Structure 1
């Protein structure tokens, strides 16, 4: 049990009782516009981040084509840089992995890459047959960011440039990433065939719909925080297995961008809660209902814990695999801060908001 879970267990019971006595707070808006908060999530955060990801994915495809046309150190460096920019933009949308878009997102980043499958395709596919349609048909661990990272970061220029199938594979993965990014934008754009855009921006929400949108986003936010602590930090460091570090589980081992990716993801976590535009934020709503913890505004307690996570990320300067071995105290601090953030959100914040944690069924459909 984390220190927050221990310290505030008794208080959480009181908070839950308070929430049950005040379920009416979702039935009248009073002076807080929850519809504006939900719409603001879409217009100020979700849709702009997806559009930014689509733009980076288009740049990635362009860099791939430029490398294929002229495979040099210069174009390979540009290709790698475009991959980093695109994967960081992808991390910014990860906290919005809602049920209807999960089939798309799951094709983008299954880690670790299936190196054996990738190499077999390069060796045995007839030249000219590795194209976008071929890549689209593959399993998720043989395409997406992890597979492309392996192709363009794991080897120096000569073997990548020398084999046409290897270049075709890289170009086709980049094209597939761009295709999926464009589809994700459609899913979040109002007035299209997408599922979520209109549901977040309808002029007159029924109160049950507003409540459902808040529950859906908060559930996915907390699930995302839990996944970072468990799978991206705890498992590679060996904390959850109680054994030795499992460095093969470190994300992005070839580009060594794991910490950058975690930071990008956490930036979106902070933005969901505190906003950055004119719309009221989730923190504003918690202040409106008088959410407190140990006599302090809960929004301020939560902000301090999020900042502690960023400080822990900043303390790791080396590649994450190296930090696990050579800087274990910093890695343990990051893991501890993530667990404390999970306790605050999954227990205290959810209780303050009167939200049931469902995770697997957070979409409500």
Structure 2
């Protein structure tokens, strides 16, 4: 598919551009209109049971991370860092649970760009140091610390990769992190605290905006441009593209003639890339089914007469989860040490991507509005 440039990617992130399309109600189980399905109740359930509580939980995990970070900065040691890693992991796992809600308040705040940038779907690993995929701009971070003056609002990759989880991952768990902290404690501690404060402000903004956004979210039951249902289905597809690309495929060498880029795995220095991938896909299934409460996208698909497709999607979710769980962490080591397990997971990811990016949108009349550059 056509390669998306950084400028185009940022435009998509700033304001998702949709194109209207006609609904298609035919399918493998015969035609269905979904007229008996309460889409407003489904959206209310998503808002009240998954989205708003998800961001509230992320706020709490960030508060826990700040407490653990303060203890580590006050007395840097392997012991305090071990406790810190638990808090960092909990916060990052919680972020994976809300990753598919990058619309509305999260899109307005550009949350994913500033706190967990994946490079989008713009692939170009010409060198291991290039800022693509799940990278960390350690040079920019060190320059910021040395200068003592910086801004986190610039719309450039070096800004995205020098704050949020990428920066914390490097500053807490990167090479000689404790020695570097002891060598320059004032400026380094200040930078860590500023990153945490910026992170908190962004999440607080999203969480604070959702209650007011909720009414419009629930009221719009269309599937056309920018609708809640359209946005959610686009996010199913987008998260699968990220799983196939930046999270698994690109580090595994699928776009680099088999050359592995282990350091491009998510949260590389913390060594929890596999756990994050499992949480990401597990949470995506939970969102697809709305936690199995009868008011999920899966139920909407059934109401549209797509029972067989829904069954296939659920089965493929389970296969992907099982294959990813079979890969030992750190994923960075398994890319070469357990390549067969990674390859098996990658193949199942491709199948689920096709279902969520092609079949489900077709069944629901939703247009997929973003582009990738490596095919499906």
Q: TM-score range by the shorter chain?
A: 0.7 to 0.9
Whole-angstrom CA distance in 1 between matches of 2:256 and 2:292: 42
Q: For residues 77 and 32 of structure 1, what CA distance do their matches in structure 2 show?
A: 48
The one of 342, 347, 355 aligned to 1:331: 342
The alignment partner of 2:203 has SS state of: helix
Gaps of 5+ in 2: 1-22, 118-133, 372-376
Whether 2:139 is the aligned partner of 1:116: answer yes
Indicate the structure whose relative CO is greater, using CA pairs within 8 Å and at least 6 residues apart: 2
**Alignment size in residue pairs:** 324
Q: TM-score, normalised by structure 2?
A: 0.78
Matched, 1:161 2:176: no
Deviates more, 1:71-80 or 1:339-348: 71-80
C-alpha change, 1:24 and 1:321, in structure 2 (3 Å) is: closer
C-alpha RMSD of the superposition? 2.7
Counterpart residue number, 2:328: 317
SS in 1 for 2:271: coil
Seen in structure 2, the aligned counterparts of structure 1 residues 277 and 161 have a Cα distance that, compared at 3 Å, is farther
Secondary structure (helix, strand or coil) at the match of 2:161 reads: helix
Q: Which residue of 1 aligns with 2:127?
A: none
The aligned runs of 1:1-365 (5 Å cut-off) are: 18=26, 25=33, 29=35, 31-98=36-103, 101-102=106-107, 103-110=110-117, 111-125=134-148, 134=150, 136-137=152-153, 139-154=159-174, 155-164=176-185, 165-188=187-210, 190-191=211-212, 196-202=213-219, 205=220, 212-276=227-291, 278=293, 280-292=295-307, 297-359=308-370
Q: Is the 8 A contact 1:150 1:254 kept in 2?
A: yes
CA distance in 1, matches of 2:368, 2:31: 16
| Paired position in structure 2 for 1:7 | none
Q: In the aligned structure 2, how far is the partner of 1:208 from the partner of 1:253?
A: 38
Q: What is the TM-score normalised by the length of structure 1?
A: 0.81
- Change in CA separation of 1:168 and 1:208 when aligned onto 2, cut-off 3 Å: closer
Give every structure 1 segment of 4 or more consecutive aligned residues whose post-TM-superposition deviation is greater than 4 Å.
205-211
| 2: CA distance, partners of 1:277 / 1:341 | 19
For structure 1, the residue ranges without an aligned partner over 5 or more in a row are 1-14, 361-365
